[in-house]
Homo-oligomer: A and B are copies of this chain.
Amino acid sequence: MTPQAAYTELVTRWRKSTLFDSVGSVLGWDQRTYMPPGGSAHRSEQLALLSGIGHAMETEPRIGELLANVEHSVLVQDPTSEAAVNAREIRHVYDRAVKLPRDLVEELTRVTSQAYDVWVAARQDDDFASFAPWLDKIVKLTRQKADAYGWQGCRYDALLDGFEPGATTAEVQALFGPLQKDLAALVAKITHSGKRPHQKVLHSEYPVDAQVEFCKEVAAAIGFDFNAGRLDVTTHPFCSSFGPGDTRLTTRFNPKNFSDAFFGTLHEAGHGMYGQGLDTNHYGAPMGSAVGLGIHESQSRLYENFVGRSQAFWKRMMPRARKYFPRALGRVGLDDLYFAVNDSKPSFIRVESDEATYNLHIILRFEIEQALVNDGLKTADVPEAWNERFRKLLGLKVPDAARGCLQDVHWSGGGIGYFPTYTLGNLYAAQFFNTADQELGGLEELIAHGDFQALKKWLSQKIYRQGQRYRSGKLCENVTGKPLSHRFLMDHLNTKFNALYELAS
């Protein structure tokens, strides 16, 4: 078989496997948006069947044979050629998949599907003890998983690699260390400033129908294509790209507060535009797929924070917001609204935290996860470790586990190693936004005039259409000319909050 023929068959098979996986995405979306409560058990069975068949497709020995053929050919001589990229990233997923023993995969699926319900109840009842044995099982299985994958630096590397291909714990530590120090200084200054925005601006009458319309209008304005997507309601918002032409955003509405749904929609729309912007000619192959979760998160954060929480954005959107919410915002000034959506103060819940404190929540989780996976922290000791660390990082005494180590869904689903990508996303977003600002000659001006097309076009060219041609770190260097650094995020935060809170810079 010629390498070219092997490559064609490889991509065809991989595409089919991706197409098959996308069926599960439709079922997952339905499960979290419209499925009636009674459908839960049947849906689990459908998803388990799909995951079994999908895993078998992904680990077919034939894929290994085809890969070997392609890898030993001239097709991969140029490491950034289409064939080399596809072979490299298929190899990455294939090797990880075949390394996992089938019984471990099934045990993880079984345990995490049961653990989810336990976690929901435990969080509701603030009862860590009932979740602890499940977390224990999950951590043990996750350690086994990491060891099956294999690792060099530390066990956590093997997990991180599943969410951020190629990234190491040491690299992330090197970024998060100085970030933590600088954030701590900024947060302390904000706290000591004694300034606070008017709270009542965001907590008023925001009729849900008007919120839906406003969210859709703004998502469309920044570039999300509703001909190839939707916005629906869910409990835990997410974005799911089924494939070319079909990307689903979800959010949740609070009739007393418009910012949850609004910034949530901008966030998911950022993810969604990445999904919509991938090269459909390469659908199903790495060249037509997103790089990693860090870059994906950078796209959501860029629109949520760098665009959506900017003064320029509200200069443009305030008249529209007043039109949709005349009672709540009719008499509110631009500066007051801008300040209100940038209210910064230490708080307990990650998903409700602001742009500055958010990353401290992530750093805490990154540390706890390493302790669990690398250092043998006992699950029973997680609350104490969490609370102690929380006081050091955010200066607050955690009142209960529901507002502490029980708040996130991730661990119940086995997603250990995922959290760091959130802060990596913030760092990438800051660095990309900085470069786009320079190359497009002033994004503030464009945004204030409602021109969102230039930014979308820039992202499309620099990021969306690149697929997985480069790994995240290399992509960042190519796009911005510099390796990933915490300085761009800190510059952004310092500039914004120094002005808002009148801090000495």
Contacts and interface: CB of A to CB of B under 8 A. Distances in A.
A18 B211 CA distance: 41
Interface in A1-52: 16, 19-20, 22-23, 26-27, 30, 34-43, 45-46, 49-50
Question: How big is the A interface, by class?
Answer: 35 or more
A227 interface: yes
A205 interface: no
Interface string A208-249: 000000000000000001111110100000000011111000
Contacts of A68: none
A503 B334 CA distance: 74
B38 A22 contact: no
Q: Number of copies of this chain in the oligomer?
A: 2
A38 B246 contact: yes
A473 B234 CA distance: 46
A-side interface mostly: helix
A24 B244 CA distance: 19
A228 B36 contact: yes
B19 A243 contact: no
Contacts of A396: none
A67 B225 CA distance: 51
A227 B41 CA distance: 13
25 contacts: A16-B49, A19-B45, A19-B46, A19-B49, A22-B42, A23-B27, A23-B49, A26-B27, A26-B46, A30-B30, A34-B34, A34-B230, A34-B232, A35-B246, A36-B228, A36-B229, A36-B230, A36-B246, A37-B227, A38-B228, A38-B229, A39-B228, A41-B244, A45-B243, A46-B243
Interface of A: 16, 19-20, 22-23, 26-27, 30, 34-43, 45-46, 49-50, 53, 225-230, 232, 242-246
